[in-house]
């Protein structure tokens, strides 16, 4: 986890683990522009806001 400007972000690996998908799935979603979550690129890494990951996990588990 990384905190930037008071907001908590997860790495792609951490997000994938929480969602039960592979890092490759998240990568494919980003490259196909169909990611259900916003993300940022920071210092060469892709980071997902924790709130986005949690919200997506809630909707995907329904």
Q: Which domains can be identified in the chain, with CATH numbers?
A: 2-60 (1.10.1660)
Provide, rounded to the nearest whole percent, the portion of the chain with pLDDT above 90. Answer: 84
Mean pLDDT on 26-31: 94
- Report pTM: 0.88
Q: What is the pLDDT, as a whole number, of residue 62?
A: 52
> Per DSSP, what are the bridge partners of residue 42?
45
Mean pLDDT over each residue of the chain, to the nearest integer: 92
Confirm if 47 and 9 have CB atoms less than 8 A apart.
Answer: yes
Summarize pLDDT for 2-16 with one digit per residue, the tens. Answer: 999 999 999 999 999
Q: What is the pLDDT, as a whole number, of residue 61?
A: 61
Give just the sign of the alpha carbon dihedral 24, 1, 17, 32.
negative
């Amino acid at each position: 986890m990384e905190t930037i400007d008071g907001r908590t972000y997860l790495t792609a690996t951490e997000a994938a683990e929480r969602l039960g998908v592979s890092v490759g799935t998240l990568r494919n979603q980003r490259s196909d522009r169909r990611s259900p979550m916003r993300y940022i690129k920071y210092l060469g890494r892709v980071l997902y806001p924790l709130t986005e990951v949690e919200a997506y996990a809630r909707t995907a588990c329904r």
